[in-house]
Amino acid sequence: MAFHGYAAAPTIAALFCFLYFFHRRLCCRHPLLTDYPILGMLPQLLFNLWRAHDFFTEILKRHGPTGEFTGPWFTSMDYLVTCDPINVHHMLSKNFHNYVKGPEFRHIFQAFGDGIFTADFEAWKYNRDLFHSLFKQKSFEVFLVKTIHNKVHNGLLPILDHVQQQGRVVDLQDVFNRFTFDNICSIVLGNDPNCLSIDFSEVAIEKAFNEAEESIFYRHVVPRCVWKIQRWLQIGQEKKMTEACKTLDQFIHARIASKREELSKYNENEMGEAHHVDLLTALMREGKAHDDKFLRDAVFNLFVAGRDTITSALTWFFWLVATNPSVEAKILEEMKEKLGTKEKSLGVLSVEEVKRLVYLHGAICEALRLFPPIPFERKQAISSDMLPSGHRVNSGTMILFSLYAMGRFEETWGKDCFEFKPERWISEKGGIVYVPSYKFIAFNAGPRTCLGKDSSFIQMKMVATAILHKYRVQVVEGFVATPSLSIVLLMKDGLKVQITKREL
């Protein structure tokens, strides 16, 4: 009897596998890739991982803007993937409350804690209202612009002058990383670490942010059981994640403790409110009940929002401009035309001046369309729903929006969608063409639209005009711009350029 039982086991297992495979085929009605037994569609993704964003763009163009990705059996790697603006509009705006980040998202993005990017429902609303009130304060707006202006004038331009005089190749992405890190430290913590220095020494905290973001991307492309085992054993990418989070936490908590001590002294001396308007100070004064964990999570989320995204946008913008001389010429011509006789003594432009540069605005929007700083977004359905495209969404379904693919779809942007063409953003009357946020989704859409959108444009325009007026940026011969495998769309090997002074 025992022998017959053992002999039947493989048959039962084979039957079970066949039935499960058949069940998956029935459930997956719109497959994006070949669904292999046991491994699902993961092998094809891993084979194309080095070009993941372009790979998914090609797949979505071939099979339609919405389809299903199924991971290995019995893993939580099944997704509905879409780049259809109508579906995006439905999920991010019309039926916003049914599509949340969810517990799985918070598990993968554990480094973000319970900050605004991972929170849902009342916790998200509280964070949103709090930051909105802080960002709209006039004192903060003045402080923000002054900080950016001073860093461009006293940090960025002197460094580029030094590099230009030496005639050496420089990684412009690294320069922007340091520039934005100093900026965000000043704006959030009220302290400038001066990472943007001539010696370009390694900054441990900056490296830790990059490693944490790469680890989060890694968690999206391997089964949860794999990265959980790696975390338990402290090996591979998960070891880097643990070490990065430790470095980040030590840095942030030290600044929080220092700020508390600083504020207690100011209170004792009855110093005025205007002396400190950085966001950490404002958070401490705005909510006396905010504990260190809340402040840590808030600071981390603000750092990612205000540092990495700006670095990404500036890096891809300058690469596109440097490789499209006609666009560069038009930006310079607009600066000369709109700013009149100021062109020869141009320094760092004011907010009012950069707002007049329509073609530059179009060029930045084009860069963000083609290379959105956050290349994909992730949501989870609370209840069953039917998307406008006709695709069924079950309760608990994970959805991925490919923002990268959305900027490359003919149906939305026309047959020239792969071209860098700032003119598509400019109307016949010379104004900015309005594009709904669910089509141009670089700053998200619906209630979760980025609060820092306007300040981001101001910062990018200040940097772009200051550099383009004084210098010509030339990409080194043979350099290939490759997107990094991270949740933020940086360049894998940086942006290698030579800086030369522009003839005025």
The mean pLDDT value of the chain amounts to: 88
First to last CA, the chain: 94
pLDDT digits (tens, 9 = 90+) for 282-308: 888 875 668 899 999 999 999 888 888
pLDDT at 270 over 70: no
Contact 211, 244 (CB under 8 A): yes
Name the pLDDT band for 191 (thresholds 50, 70, 90).
confident
What pLDDT, on a 0 to 100 scale, did the predictor assign at position 10? 60
pLDDT at 414 over 70: yes
CA 39/CA 69 separation, integer angstroms? 12
pLDDT digits (tens, 9 = 90+) for 423-455: 999 998 889 999 999 999 999 999 999 999 999
CA 366/CA 317 separation, integer angstroms? 8
Q: What is the mean pLDDT of residues 216-222?
A: 89
Q: Annotated binding residue at 450?
A: yes
Contact 273, 163 (CB under 8 A): no
Residue type, 496: K
Counting residues of the chain whose pLDDT is more than 90, the rounded percentage is 65
Counting residues of the chain whose pLDDT is more than 70, the rounded percentage is 90
pLDDT digits (tens, 9 = 90+) for 60-111: 999 889 999 988 877 778 899 999 999 999 999 999 999 999 999 999 999 9
What are the contacts of 180-185 at 24+ separation with CB within 8 A? 180/306, 180/307, 180/308, 180/310, 180/311, 180/314, 181/205, 181/206, 181/307, 182/151, 182/155, 183/147, 183/148, 183/151, 183/306, 183/307, 183/310, 183/459, 184/302, 184/303, 184/306, 184/307
CA 244/CA 278 separation, integer angstroms? 25
Contact 499, 475 (CB under 8 A): no
Q: Could you give phi then psi for residue 300, rounded to 5 degrees?
A: -60, -50
SS3 label, residue 99: strand
What pLDDT, on a 0 to 100 scale, did the predictor assign at position 264? 79
Contacts of 494 (CB under 8 A, 6+ apart): 171, 172, 173, 174
pLDDT at 13 over 60: no
Q: What is the mean pLDDT of residues 297-322?
A: 93
What pLDDT, on a 0 to 100 scale, did the predictor assign at position 141? 87
For residue 110 the two structure tokens come to 């554990």
Scanning the structure block, which residue is given the tokens 């600083």? Answer: 262
Helix 236-268 / helix 224-233 crossing angle, nearest 10 deg: 70
Tell me the domains of the chain and their CATH numbers.
43-501 (1.10.630.10)
Helix, strand, coil % over all residues of the chain, rounded to 5: 60, 10, 30
What pLDDT, on a 0 to 100 scale, did the predictor assign at position 14? 53
pLDDT at 19 over 50: no
Least confident of 42-56, 253-267, 419-433, 475-489: 253-267
What pLDDT, on a 0 to 100 scale, did the predictor assign at position 171? 95
For residue 478 the two structure tokens come to 């043979």
SS3 label, residue 402: strand
For residue 309 the two structure tokens come to 């995204």
Instruction: Tell me 249's DSSP state.
Output: H
